[in-house]
Structure 1
Amino acid sequence: MTPCQCQCQCHVNVNASGRYEFKLWNLIIRPPRATYDESDLGPAEFVAGGVRATRRDVKLRTQRGVLLSCSFFSPSQDKKAEIQRFPVVVYLHGNSSSRLEACNLVGALISQRMALFCFDAAGCGQSEGEYVSLGWHERDDLAAVISFLRRLPTCGQIGLWGRSMGAATALMHSGRDSDLGALCLDSSFASLRQLVEELAQSKDFPWPLPVPSWLVGAVLAIIRVRVKALADFDIEDLVPLHHARRSSAPAIFLHGRRDSFIQLRHSQQLYDAYSGSKEFIMVEGDHNSARGGQVVGHIINFFKRCLRQVALESSTACNKLLLKSVALLALPCETFVSAQVDHRISVACCLVPVRCKQP
């Protein structure tokens, strides 16, 4: 989430409760949409840390019919060697961000021979959708993404790296996916109701005054009805804390010491409840601060340890499948796919570009 961007303006002829309610529900389900050009994502072929890699773009239609704009950065296959599976880290951005948020991780992951898959969540960036749901619907979209990846012959173990809304999404999915290899959960909230109550009474956000304690209940009731009508979920049901108790993949919890948007205690609650092996890292900075190189390096080493490459048995069937996939990758046009049927990804245009030799 990016609270500094969420200064919604409301009409002067509404009462105090209406002003608070309008700003809060916009902050939850309709923050400013990030905009960018696809060229910002970088070249189609590049080298990072001596590893040749490619970026492929895919349009993925989820079960609820939303078309997601995605990018898949992966080490290149050696055509003369056996098929190799690479671990894949799926990055999940915050609620007013986009897949560009993941681009500064590409080089570090590729250099360790790990792939990165990132996408604009519904209602964000270049994906379809009007509203975000802070993880409620996004977890099902994530399930479609993971299903798509697991059908790729070059996909190894999958880990999730989420920030803010993305961290909540990862946590709410992880409890139902025992095959996940690792999680990095950066600045998730423990309960949406708890977060909204804290924001309503905060002095740091763009309403004239903190919501008086006697008005909080009324404001939350209005927000609940409004969010349910527009975005089809109940804020009372969005409790990542409940899912932490059902998750078992190794996890790193990360939070900024000076985060006044989602307070540190949210991650502490999640960490305490988490049932798998876990680590807690408290970093300097606030909710939107960049994570330093040392922290990023530690997380990447964590994924490297957990997402051990799974050797793919060399077989005629697998080789035929890979050749078919490589042929599809060479398609010059953008290809739309369904999460439920056969998939195709297309060449599109992060790092040191590679010049292609002309025949």
Structure 2
Amino acid sequence: MKKKWMVISAIIVFILLAGLAFAGNYFYNQGVKRGTDVKLHSESAAVNAQAGNKDTSLQQKSESWYDKQEKEVLEMTSYDDLELKAKFIKNDTDKLVILVHGFRNTGDDMGKYAKLYHDMGFSVLLPDARGHGKSAGDYIGYGWHDRLDIKDWVSLMIKKYGAEQIILDGNSMGAATVLMTSGEKLPPEVKGVIADSAYSGVKAELTHQLKYIYHLPAFPLLDVTSLISKIRAGYTFGEASTIEQVKKNKLPLLIIHGDADDLVPTRMGHEIYKAAGGDKELWIVPDAGHTKAYDNMTAEYEKRIKAFVTKVLTK
């Protein structure tokens, strides 16, 4: 009888482990594997429809301007031999902004900010992150491996194009990317970082998504998925921490977050600001959903970006 129960117990354990492995691979494919059409928890459309006529006009002009620009395609080989690509709008200047896009977007999705920076005298680089757009890679790095890619783009732009004053600016996953980059050793040409709607860490953000999309606790599914991510993508969710990176930051930061953001909770913006080293500013935007501060308050957004950039470049 004892032997029978041992066999039954072993079978049950095997079934549970197999189920967890299956579930972990499913969530990896949903959240990390390249090209999956994944549903995200997000706010209602109501919080994304606040723009006035002036704001809407500014957005339309910026988007139209971007569409008409000639864009050079630049290529770079990453530290782990992936071919990465970016679009480049050259200006007659030593100033450069690197605009970093969000989850399952491309560099073109940051194009609406390009005119603002170009008008301030910047050249504009819009990379496709690894696993996105025209760049190689079969997984999404959530900013962790991407932080090293941004470092390499910075080096390339300094050496090849003579960039001497560089701003890093990102949205959502791109915001987490530039904040993670800020914790690395960067050349003095990098002057400041702007991050709109960043998450405090990959584990924290995926925990939030599991709860609101699937109504599931993080343990043990997220831990299993993180292990699979380590095997298939080379990083765990826990190590990909925005908070730990910004603790090492020494650059001026402008952290932007909507107070109606349900995709990346507003509290994460506060957590990042509290943890960050260096000079820092926090702008919590009323009634703005995820990355909707620009859309809702375009004129004010541009004003604050200009003020921050002017301040950090005149130091």
TM-score (norm 2): 0.76
Could you say if the C-alpha distance between residues 116 and 301 of structure 1 is closer, same or farther in structure 2, counting changes exceeding 3 Å?
farther
**Structure 1 segment 89-168 matched on structure 2, within 5 A:** 89-168=97-176
Q: Compare 25-34 and 275-284 and name the one that shifted more.
A: 25-34
Runs of 4+ in 1 over 6 A off after TM superposition: none
Query: What do residues 154-191 of structure 1 show as CA deviations (whole Å, max 9, x unaligned)?
Result: 41211100112111211122122262201101111112
Question: 1:260 aligned to 262, 277, 281, which one?
Answer: 262
Q: Report what 2:289 is aligned to.
A: 286
Paired residue secondary structure (1:160)? strand
**Structure 1 segment 224-239 matched on structure 2, within 5 A:** 224-239=226-241
Listed as ranges, the gaps of 5+ residues in structure 1 are 1-14, 35-39, 46-54, 78-84, 310-359
Q: Report what 2:253 is aligned to.
A: 251
Tell me the distance in 2 between the aligned counterparts of 1:31 and 1:300. Answer: 35
Query: What do residues 187-227 of structure 1 show as CA deviations (whole Å, max 9, x unaligned)?
Result: 1111222222222222xx2x3xx01x4xx312122211221
Paired residue secondary structure (2:90)? strand
Tell me the distance in 2 between the aligned counterparts of 1:160 and 1:23. Answer: 34
- 1:270 is aligned to 2:279: no
Tell me the distance in 1 between the aligned counterparts of 2:103 and 2:266. Answer: 18
Tell me the distance in 2 between the aligned counterparts of 1:99 and 1:300. Answer: 21
Question: 2:196 aligned to 186, 191, 196, which one?
Answer: 186
Higher helix share: 2
Q: Report what 2:85 is aligned to.
A: 69
Give how far 1:42 is off. 3.7
Q: Report what 1:86 is aligned to.
A: 94
Is residue 31–residue 95 contact of structure 1 (8 Å, CA) maintained in 2?
Answer: no
Is residue 197–residue 290 contact of structure 2 (8 Å, CA) maintained in 1?
Answer: yes
Paired residue secondary structure (2:193)? strand
Tell me the distance in 1 between the aligned counterparts of 2:261 and 2:24. Answer: 23
Q: Compare 58-67 and 300-309 and name the one that shifted more.
A: 300-309
Is residue 66–residue 115 contact of structure 2 (8 Å, CA) maintained in 1?
Answer: no
Q: Counterpart amino acid of 1:58?
A: L
Is residue 33–residue 97 contact of structure 1 (8 Å, CA) maintained in 2?
Answer: no
Tell me the distance in 1 between the aligned counterparts of 2:23 and 2:209. Answer: 10
Could you say if the C-alpha distance between residues 73 and 134 of structure 1 is closer, same or farther in structure 2, counting changes exceeding 3 Å?
same
Tell me the distance in 1 between the aligned counterparts of 2:28 and 2:151. Answer: 26
Tell me the distance in 1 between the aligned counterparts of 2:83 and 2:19. Answer: 38
Q: Report what 2:306 is aligned to.
A: 300
Query: What do residues 116-165 of structure 1 show as CA deviations (whole Å, max 9, x unaligned)?
Result: 11110011011111111101111111111011011135412111001121
Q: Counterpart amino acid of 2:140?
A: V
Q: Counterpart amino acid of 1:135?
A: G
Query: What do residues 253-311 of structure 1 show as CA deviations (whole Å, max 9, x unaligned)?
Result: 111212112111111111011111111111232225361312133113322332359xx
Tell me the distance in 2 between the aligned counterparts of 1:62 and 1:281. Answer: 33
Could you say if the C-alpha distance between residues 303 and 23 of structure 1 is closer, same or farther in structure 2, counting changes exceeding 3 Å?
farther
Q: Report what 2:206 is aligned to.
A: 196
**Structure 1 segment 215-230 matched on structure 2, within 5 A:** 216-230=218-232
Higher relative contact order (CA 8 A, sep 6+): 1
Tell me the distance in 2 between the aligned counterparts of 1:173 and 1:226. Answer: 24
Paired residue secondary structure (1:185)? strand
Paired residue secondary structure (2:154)? helix
Paired residue secondary structure (1:127)? coil
Q: Report what 1:177 is aligned to.
A: 186
Tell me the distance in 2 between the aligned counterparts of 1:305 and 1:32. Answer: 40
TM-score (norm 1): 0.68
Tell me the distance in 2 between the aligned counterparts of 1:87 and 1:190. Answer: 29
Tell me the distance in 2 between the aligned counterparts of 1:26 and 1:244. Answer: 29
Give how far 1:22 is off. 5.1
Give how far 1:92 is off. 0.8
Query: What do residues 33-79 of structure 1 show as CA deviations (whole Å, max 9, x unaligned)?
Result: 79xxxxx964455xxxxxxxxx322122222111112111122x4xx
Is residue 33–residue 125 contact of structure 1 (8 Å, CA) maintained in 2?
Answer: no
